[in-house]
Chains A and B, each alone.
Chain A
């Protein structure tokens, strides 16, 4: 199905949807765009937020279950996911969701992840405004949404062209016909043109083969010395999903899954003190190899979508495309 959503109707549509699910959308908080629970604020769609929407699939604090003790025996309570709609996800982040789906879907399937995933409606936004450092096209992750989203939007100036990608998307159009108007062949042609221009802007960026070659040649000791060990690159990555599990509460409490990062030294260190990845260089190398070799070997998709967030956030200015120290 293809229809047009006049831009003046967007807020009305989100308000209508907000009655039956939490709407998450890019808004401005302290001056920067972030994906957050939408309460009618103006949308911030001009640039992709630095923190990816994956936060709503793998939250920083994820309650796996509650344990309740009675006379030395325990009962467990599962926490069910609430319905949610994430509006304005770019193609790169949607592709990253596809990667996470395969990682968490690999046997044994991760139920807490899929509980949340299945109750999440994804509304994609075709990316007409690539930024410096973006290289989704070479990674097969943009600028056009090609999978997964329940609804896909393309900004055509006055209107959004809305295309359905799933029965959940069709349902939204059927339940709220008052907000949409008919789309024509002309709108489709306009979309193609806009995406072609976006594609041209993305030309000349990095590619998986460039990074793979750089991994081979990189001086990991030097990169390890340069790295400030902040973990920033891993927390802004839409595919990074390392986590730790902790208990909070005695005798009753919660078992929590919290985001963790493989580039910090404690991540692989065993209780004995032995650490299989001793140096920061080895840990950085493992991070790159995971994305460009290990994840592809395990699930058949690259572990990088070329969103460029890791490079943008690197305080040590490590050029992640050339794997060189810049200063």
Chain B
């Protein structure tokens, strides 16, 4: 049952990930039954401005609920102009999340730009349940070094045996790493064909998916987190439909074979 009434969460911490992206930690003010899966999202309210979908950036294996918010429009600006101690309204979790119970143990995770925010939930989940998974590799690309998120965490991922490749479109003098597309990182990975989780711009998703299929990944094992305009989050308002699917209910995670015609 759905009343559209959010619960309230207090902002307890704000980290700056990039000049226009904050990582916001929240603590529910009420005793709410809130359990979620990597890949799900919440509808976030700034009362007076409205409500928008934000993917959950934290892993359910850790205590804090974290949202990575990029200044994009009216409501995200409202969220980012909030201060520690302010409250946001939350509805959710919404959507299906990554089908961890169905996915193979060897997983490639590929993120482009702000799409990486939702994948951090999955990566930290895997890191915390490392023995449940096999070979895991992360390929992440951002526009410039200033746009790279979660830099302080790459080392801990590597220490848990996750292969991490980072690339930027435009390098600078301080950057010793890879410059180029996300796909250019993937040749180095020794990962056997397994499952994949991708989030990023459509061009990047297609490029990564075709590379994976060349390497023997099945298109139904490539999971893509899709972005759509959303209003209700419960499959009624029709803003987010992809054919017969409602991205907010049947997605945002779809297997590549279901959505490649719209990418």
Give me the interface of A with B, judged by CB distance under 8 Å: 64-65, 67, 69, 72-74, 76, 78, 103-104, 106, 108-112, 241-247, 249-251, 253, 255, 257, 260, 262, 267-272, 276, 286, 289-290, 293-294, 297-298
B202 nearest in chain A by CB position: A274
Give the CA-CA distance A253 to B46 in the complex, in Å.
12
Report B152 CB to chain A, min CB distance, Å. Answer: 27
Q: List chain B residues, Cβ under 8 A from A271.
A: 52, 72-73, 76, 229
Whether A244 contacts B47 in the complex (CB less than 8 A), given A72-B86, A112-B3, A293-B244, comes out as no
Q: List chain B residues, Cβ under 8 A from A109.
A: 1-2
Q: List chain A residues, Cβ under 8 A from B237.
A: 242-245, 260
The interface residues of chain B, by DSSP majority, are classed as loop
Q: List chain A residues, Cβ under 8 A from B32.
A: none
Cβ-defined contact, B2 with A111, below 8 A? yes
Report A238 CB to chain B, min CB distance, Å. Answer: 15
Cβ-defined contact, A103 with B227, below 8 A? no
If A64-B5, A65-B5, A74-B89 are given as contacts, then 12 extra A-B residue pairs at C-beta distance below 8 Å, sorted by A number, are A65-B3, A111-B1, A243-B232, A245-B232, A246-B50, A249-B48, A250-B47, A255-B51, A267-B239, A271-B52, A276-B242, A289-B243
Whether A297 contacts B47 in the complex (CB less than 8 A), given A242-B238, A245-B231, comes out as no
Cβ-defined contact, B236 with A104, below 8 A? yes
- Report 17 cross-chain contacts, Cβ distance below 8 Å, ordered by A residue: A65-B5, A67-B47, A72-B87, A74-B8, A74-B87, A74-B89, A78-B5, A103-B236, A108-B234, A111-B3, A111-B4, A242-B237, A244-B231, A245-B231, A246-B50, A251-B48, A272-B72
Cβ-defined contact, A251 with B47, below 8 A? yes
Cβ-defined contact, A76 with B5, below 8 A? yes
What 5 pairs between A and B have smallest CB-CB spacing?
Answer: A250-B48, A271-B73, A294-B244, A108-B2, A271-B72
Most chain A beta-carbon neighbours within 10 Å: one of B73, B76, B85, B238: B238
The interface residues of chain A, by DSSP majority, are classed as mixed
Cβ-defined contact, B85 with A72, below 8 A? yes
Report A107 CB to chain B, min CB distance, Å. Answer: 9
Q: Which of B4, B6, B47, B242 contacts A69 (CB 8 A)?
A: B47
Give the CA-CA distance A244 to B50 in the complex, in Å.
11
Report A227 CB to chain B, min CB distance, Å. Answer: 18
B226 nearest in chain A by CB position: A276
Q: List chain B residues, Cβ under 8 A from A270.
A: 227-229
Cβ-defined contact, B47 with A286, below 8 A? no
Cβ-defined contact, A294 with B3, below 8 A? no
Report A234 CB to chain B, min CB distance, Å. Answer: 10
Q: List chain A residues, Cβ under 8 A from B243.
A: 289, 294
Q: List chain A residues, Cβ under 8 A from B3.
A: 64-65, 78, 111-112
B237 nearest in chain A by CB position: A243
B213 interfacial contact with A, CB 8 Å: no
Interface membership of chain B positions 1-40, coded 1 if the CB is closer than 8 angstroms to chain A and 0 otherwise: 1111110100000000000000000000100000000000
Cβ-defined contact, A247 with B236, below 8 A? no
Report A300 CB to chain B, min CB distance, Å. Answer: 12
B206 interfacial contact with A, CB 8 Å: no
B236 nearest in chain A by CB position: A110
Whether A65 contacts B4 in the complex (CB less than 8 A), given A110-B236, A271-B72, comes out as yes
A295 nearest in chain B by CB position: B244
Q: List chain B residues, Cβ under 8 A from A69.
A: 47
Q: List chain B residues, Cβ under 8 A from A268.
A: 228-229, 239-240
Q: List chain B residues, Cβ under 8 A from A241.
A: 236, 238
Report B262 CB to chain A, min CB distance, Å. Answer: 6
Whether A290 contacts B47 in the complex (CB less than 8 A), given A78-B5, A106-B235, A244-B231, comes out as no
Q: List chain B residues, Cβ under 8 A from A112.
A: 3-4
Give the CA-CA distance A74 to B7 in the complex, in Å.
9
Give the CA-CA distance A293 to B73 in the complex, in Å.
34
Q: List chain B residues, Cβ under 8 A from A293.
A: 244
Cβ-defined contact, A247 with B244, below 8 A? no
Give the CA-CA distance A112 to B5 in the complex, in Å.
11
B238 nearest in chain A by CB position: A242
Q: List chain A residues, Cβ under 8 A from B158.
A: none
